[in-house]
Structure 1
Amino acid sequence: MPSPLPTHLRQQFHQEYKDILAYWQRYAPDPVNGGFYGRVNYQNQPDPNAEKGIVLNARILWTFSAGLRHTHHDEYRPVADQAFQYIRQYFIDPQYGGVYWSVTAKGEPANATKQLYGQSFALYGLSEYVRATNDPTARTMAQELFRLMVKHAYDPERGGFQEGLARDWSPTDKLVLSKKDNQETKTMNTHLHILEAFTNLYRVWPDKSVDTQIRGMLDAFTNHIVDPKTYRMKLFLNDDWQVRRTAISYGHDIEASWLLPEAADVLKDKALQKKINTLGIKMARAAADGLDSDGGMNYEYDPVTGHRNRERSWWVMAEAMVGFYNAYQLTKEQQFLDKSLQSWEFTKKHLLDTKNGEWFMGVTPEHKVTGNDKISMWKCPYHNSRACLEMLERSEA
């Protein structure tokens, strides 16, 4: 059951949600080459020659589709439509299917490999567009993309998905998120977002094949990716699910702590829901170790080298808000609500750019701003707008 927040906090989330989308409406569209700029700096100055990535464009599609669905405000429809049409025209591979990883500023293929992370976000965005508009073309595209991912990248013997493939879906060593020469052929990050995409697809196409894949992905997390002793995720693995590189990613752990239960919820399987909810709570407890006394969450820790990355990243703080709130909803433990709201207070104080809009990429432990991109291949409106949206939807009485 949702847990109501005080009116003033709901108003804050509502206003921040509107402000984020307004920023992207104003500064993201590329009036010369179409679509959206591949990079905009902290001074809101675009780089008109920057490559355009599928992750950015698919997350814009998701964000404005979700905004249209949630608010029913037609002002969000043009950006959602623009994102859909740009992906359809420039990112979809007309010869082999699937989406390119990136295109040039003018829309020509730049990196044409079929990274499963990129396919996942395209599927996630398309599915949300269908939720918002019921567009039949987008529905067909989403179904076809799902079938291609399963056909070419699914591992029927060991479960899970390959990290990336060449343009024609043949093997490749050109992986974006991992190192093929270290046999990092399956990653937590890609699997988390494949699961996220399949979950959203199931909402608009509750087909048995999607149900089967969601269950298989949850099995992969419970049996291979989440450590049963620490409840932290293993980040880089090989085909046989053996760990190839060690690190603790606090942001991904807290993000997964609510994305896994979300996936179980759409299947309406009470036994599975109970199992995954229990796992999610344990993951949230483990991720809380990444919090510092100022309310910020550290980025990463390597227990082998002892190196701790203490940057407070915009996306980590956004996921902390939702993950700890989800744990509060499941347990009713005040500590989780406190951690969620502390994450928001930290974000308001240190990450919101009150002068030029949107969020900074991150701050140091001393709260000095880092980075210089408001928009980039990875700096997108998805984590922060989604956090506000989740907090609003979850707190509705």
Structure 2
Amino acid sequence: MELKSQMHNELRSILDYWVKNAIDEKNGGFIGTIDYTETKQYNDPKGSVLNARILWAFSASYPITQNKEHLQMAERAFDYIARYFYDREHGGVFWSLNYDGTPKDTKNQIYALAFTIYGLSEFYAASGNEEALKMAIALYKKIEEHSFDPLHKGYFEAFTRDWQPIDDLRLSDKDANEKKTMNTHLHIVEAYANLYRVWKDEKLKQVAAGLLETIDKYFINTNSKHLRLFFNEEWVEKEDVVSYGHDIEAAWLLQWCAEAIEDVNLTAIYKKHAIVLTEGALEGLDNDGGLWYELEMHNNQMIEEKHWWPQSELWIGLVNAWQLTGDKKYLDLTQKNWAFVQQHILDKTNGEWVWGVNKDYSLIEKDKAGFWKCPYHNSRACIELIKRLP
């Protein structure tokens, strides 16, 4: 299939950008920010999520590309995380560092710990590095010790460096300040499932299965076909937005998690959810094949931006739906979105993908690389399609 060979090419192109541009030769690790003009901001903070996602992307890509340079990038990311981001005193992960590697924001945002586990377990799979596996297991145990809510189930969002309660729980300014969120739960179970692939621990399997049951109970609205995003500790929902990107990411990723932990019953449940959530996400599909960002529920107002990452997740969700149903419409929509991405999201001059475009296709002037702009969603989309397409 031509699309499969195009994914091989696109994966190499994405990785090539990061190899050539993201290494911080001045301060170590990777540059904190490359802005939309391709200006490298060497003095900007370095984010834990960016570094964990670089670790994952190059670790996951190496078995496909067999390019030693990609394994070296993963090793660089691991070394920097182990030396600077990993908190050996309290057993967490610093949210951010100053450009010189000194701690900046020392809170334990569980989302960041989850992505670090995700990256470490993938790196262990690619390299056999035992220290990476030990760190991943230690972080998993810290999450279970401090973040799990034994009374109401689910996980709390954030803590201080020494695991005390914290007032501001948000991942970013746009999020609601609530104690339990879909986004964090999605990425904890993603991390646990990936860890289980390389560490067949029965307790971990039970914990991951319990989390998938919690997500099924609270976060998936089969009536609206969308995810519920924000809750307090007692599972009282705070309605916010419809996030089409998260709908389609959860559609395939939760099924993948159920399959990874080898749970037949949960896999059956999440295969059904996959189709429901995919159809919900397609409500945000524009005529040009691009996926809109979000819908504000309180005024039914579309946020008329098309960001890079929902397009990536759309590919996997659609191909997964095609695999489940055999319905060619999903494959056709994948091709249509790929054409949209090629026309409007790929940076044909500098490489990689832009943050996104507005309704009139003007550039959204945000990072090419940074706290949230990472080689994770788009590389994973290429990897998954390479694995799934004939």
Question: Is the structural similarity TM-score above 0.5?
Answer: yes
Aligned residue number for residue 348 of structure 1: 342
Code of the aligned partner of 1:281:
I
| Equivalent runs, 1:1-397 vs 2, <5 Å | 6=1, 8-177=2-171, 184-395=178-389, 397=390
* Cα distance in 1, alignment partners of residues 49 and 263 from structure 2: 31
* Cα distance in 2, alignment partners of residues 364 and 53 from structure 1: 26
* Cα distance in 2, alignment partners of residues 334 and 236 from structure 1: 34
Taking structure 1 as reference, are residues 182 and 40 closer, same or farther at Cα in structure 2, changes over 3 Å only?
closer
* Cα distance in 2, alignment partners of residues 10 and 183 from structure 1: 41
CA contact (8 A) 2:170 2:178 kept: no
CA contact (8 A) 1:178 1:185 kept: no
Taking structure 1 as reference, are residues 297 and 182 closer, same or farther at Cα in structure 2, changes over 3 Å only?
closer
Q: Supply the RMSD in Å over aligned alpha carbons.
A: 1.4
Q: Which runs of 5+ in 1 are unaligned?
A: 1-5
CA contact (8 A) 1:43 1:356 kept: no
Aligned residue number for residue 3 of structure 1: none
Query: What secondary structure is seen at the aligned counterpart in 1 of 2:24?
Result: coil
CA contact (8 A) 1:183 1:237 kept: no
* Cα distance in 2, alignment partners of residues 380 and 66 from structure 1: 14
Code of the aligned partner of 1:70:
I
Code of the aligned partner of 2:115:
F
Calculate the TM-score normalised by the size of structure 2: 0.97
Deviation at 1:276, TM superposition (A): 1.1
Residues 4-46 of structure 1, C-alpha deviations (whole Å, 9 max, x = no match): xx2x222211111001000000100000100000001233221
Deviation at 1:199, TM superposition (A): 1.1
Query: What secondary structure is seen at the aligned counterpart in 2 of 1:156?
Result: coil
CA contact (8 A) 2:245 2:309 kept: yes
* Cα distance in 2, alignment partners of residues 293 and 112 from structure 1: 44
CA contact (8 A) 1:232 1:287 kept: yes
Residues 175-208 of structure 1, C-alpha deviations (whole Å, 9 max, x = no match): 23279x9761001111111111111101101211
Residues 146-193 of structure 1, C-alpha deviations (whole Å, 9 max, x = no match): 0001101011121111010110011111323279x9761001111111
Code of the aligned partner of 2:292:
N
* Cα distance in 1, alignment partners of residues 172 and 376 from structure 2: 22
* Cα distance in 2, alignment partners of residues 269 and 124 from structure 1: 20
CA contact (8 A) 1:69 1:131 kept: no
Calculate the TM-score normalised by the size of structure 1: 0.95
Residues 199-234 of structure 1, C-alpha deviations (whole Å, 9 max, x = no match): 110110121121112111111111001113112111
Code of the aligned partner of 2:371:
M
* Cα distance in 2, alignment partners of residues 268 and 113 from structure 1: 34
* Cα distance in 1, alignment partners of residues 15 and 205 from structure 2: 32
Code of the aligned partner of 1:184:
E
Count of aligned pairs: 389
Residues 37-78 of structure 1, C-alpha deviations (whole Å, 9 max, x = no match): 000123322101100000000000001111112232212121
Taking structure 1 as reference, are residues 334 and 83 closer, same or farther at Cα in structure 2, changes over 3 Å only?
same
Residues 326-357 of structure 1, C-alpha deviations (whole Å, 9 max, x = no match): 11111111121122221111111110010011
CA contact (8 A) 1:315 1:384 kept: yes
* Cα distance in 2, alignment partners of residues 12 and 288 from structure 1: 24
Taking structure 1 as reference, are residues 183 and 107 closer, same or farther at Cα in structure 2, changes over 3 Å only?
closer
Query: What secondary structure is seen at the aligned counterpart in 2 of 1:169?
Result: coil
CA contact (8 A) 1:299 1:316 kept: yes
Deviation at 1:368, TM superposition (A): 1.3
Identity of aligned residues (%): 41
Residues 284-311 of structure 1, C-alpha deviations (whole Å, 9 max, x = no match): 1111101011111110012222221021
Code of the aligned partner of 2:257:
A
CA contact (8 A) 2:168 2:177 kept: no
CA contact (8 A) 1:226 1:232 kept: yes
Deviation at 1:254, TM superposition (A): 0.3
